[in-house]
């Protein structure tokens, strides 16, 4: 429907409005003003806005099976939606112009390809909803979804459901969170999953924050979930370092990786495996053969050390491992009761993990690494 053939201002009543193939076009100088809560269905066509679109409490719903190129959100004007739903049954929707969504960006069919555009969730409590393996935000370019909100001592808050969950007793103030989907090269031979985050709170000191990052299996980019680590960049992705502060927890069912003890948060984050195999020719023929890989690994005996000991609560566990593997770091009482269990990814050689037992009463505990044939060590907390 081309708005130049209609009245300058179109008022849609509070009922569903359907538009046929071709889409909804708002040409320069024209306006579409919604009233009430209409659901405007754009079936097998484009939403093209080069004029003015006033959403009120409306829903724009993209449906159909047409190619992504023929079902895009485009135009020279930035469209501000109340609710936008991507409900196509076949093929994605392309975002060719940045958008604002004040209530809900819903994925209920195929993907929304952000391209190089920005989808901004505005207002005080918008949400990104309905994402799953087959219906989510994607891009191989620079496009992001972003939201800014004032955070007052957030507790397990997944802001706007973007996928970065923050817990801290500090008041962060106005905090901007961006999520993109372009894989990052975090180290030589190591690329991240197809997702990254940028976090920028106003207050960025003494946070003691816990950060949980979510992902989908379809975004793993070949990485094993059991070895995912949080990587951090302080220079907008130019260089990266693996986060080692605090304790790490992984959940491959709910698809998240979490670390504690972040004193600051203003940075860029992604998930990736901890190390890569060497790339010289002598290793090339072994990469897909577990037996040969095992033969390449050193035969040294594993060892474990903890320091300081005694401790007031904070200490480090140092493990010398002869192989790359996944193990479990356990804290037990002297009578063998399991108090804490954390999955850790070991690389060949020296590994170091920060631990905090400040919440445990003074006494003697056992520190054990399940998965390696090394004895438990006694740790004294004063």
Give the CA count within 13 Å in the CB-facing half-sphere of 344: 27
Q: Which pTM value belongs to this model? A: 0.70
Predicted local distance difference test score (pLDDT) of residue 6: 34
pLDDT at 19 exceeding the cut of 60: no
- Which pLDDT tens digit goes with each residue over 25-58? 999 999 999 999 999 999 999 999 999 999 999 9
- Which pLDDT tens digit goes with each residue over 50-91? 999 999 999 999 999 999 989 999 999 999 999 999 999 999
pLDDT: which is higher, 336 or 136: 136
Most confident of 66-70, 152-156, 299-303: 152-156
pLDDT: which is higher, 246 or 147: 147
Distance CA 311, CA 360 (A): 12
Is residue 206 within 8 Å of 236, Cβ to Cβ?
A: no
Distance CA 344, CA 304 (A): 14
pLDDT confidence bin for 325, thresholds 50/70/90: confident
User: How is residue 124 written in tokens?
Assistant: 């005080």
pLDDT at 296 exceeding the cut of 80: no
pLDDT at 298 exceeding the cut of 80: no
Predicted local distance difference test score (pLDDT) of residue 4: 36
Give the CA count within 13 Å in the CB-facing half-sphere of 87: 14
pLDDT confidence bin for 276, thresholds 50/70/90: low
pLDDT: which is higher, 146 or 377: 146
Predicted local distance difference test score (pLDDT) of residue 20: 44
pLDDT confidence bin for 286, thresholds 50/70/90: very low
Q: How far apart are the first and last CA of the chain?
A: 75
Residue identified by tokens 């020279």 is 76
For the beta carbon of residue 200, count every other beta carbon within 10 angstroms.
Answer: 16
Q: For 352-377, give the DSSP string.
A: EEEEE-TTSPSEEEEEEEETS----E
- Which residues make Cβ contacts (< 8 Å) with residue 223, sequence separation at least 6? 192, 193, 271, 272, 273
Rounded percentage of the chain residues whose pLDDT exceeds 70: 87
pLDDT at 272 exceeding the cut of 50: yes
pLDDT confidence bin for 15, thresholds 50/70/90: very low
pLDDT: which is higher, 325 or 237: 237
């Amino acid at each position: 429907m081309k708005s130049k053939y209609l009245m300058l201002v179109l008022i849609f009543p509070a009922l569903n409005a359907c538009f046929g193939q071709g889409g909804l076009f708002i040409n320069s100088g024209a306006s579409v003003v919604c009233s009430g809560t209409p659901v405007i269905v754009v079936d097998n066509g484009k939403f093209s806005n080069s004029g003015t679109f006033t959403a009120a409490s409306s829903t724009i719903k993209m449906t159909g099976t047409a190619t992504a190129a023929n079902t895009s959100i485009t135009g020279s004007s930035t469209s501000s939606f109340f609710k936008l739903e991507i409900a196509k049954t076949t093929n994605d929707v392309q975002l060719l112009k940045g958008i604002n969504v004040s209530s809900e960006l819903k994925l209920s069919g195929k993907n929304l390809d952000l391209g190089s555009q920005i989808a901004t969730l505005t207002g005080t409590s918008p949400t990104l909803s309905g994402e799953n393996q087959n219906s989510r935000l994607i891009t191989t370019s620079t496009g992001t979804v972003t939201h800014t909100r004032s955070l007052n001592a957030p507790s397990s808050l997944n802001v706007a459901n973007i996928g970065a969950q923050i817990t801290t007793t500090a008041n962060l103030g106005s905090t901007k969170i961006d999520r993109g989907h372009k894989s990052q090269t975090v180290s030589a031979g190591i690329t991240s999953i197809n997702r990254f985050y940028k976090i920028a709170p106003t207050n960025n000191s003494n946070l003691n924050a816990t950060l949980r990052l979510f992902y989908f299996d379809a975004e793993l980019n070949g990485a094993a979930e059991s070895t995912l680590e949080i990587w951090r960049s302080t220079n907008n992705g130019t260089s990266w370092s693996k986060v080692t502060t605090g304790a790490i927890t992984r959940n491959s069912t709910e698809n998240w990786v979490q670390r504690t003890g972040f004193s600051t948060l203003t940075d860029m984050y992604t998930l990736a495996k901890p190390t890569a195999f060497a790339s010289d020719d002598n290793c090339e023929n072994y990469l897909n053969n577990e037996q040969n890989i095992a033969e390449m690994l050193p035969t040294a005996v594993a060892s474990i050390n903890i320091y300081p000991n005694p401790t007031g609560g904070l200490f480090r566990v140092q493990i010398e491992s002869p192989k790359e593997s996944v193990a479990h770091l356990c804290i037990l009482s002297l009578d063998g009761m399991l108090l804490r269990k954390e999955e850790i990814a070991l690389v060949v050689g020296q590994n170091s993990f920060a631990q905090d037992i400040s919440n445990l009463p003074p006494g003697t505990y056992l520190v054990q690494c399940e998965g390696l044939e090394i004895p438990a060590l006694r740790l004294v907390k004063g």
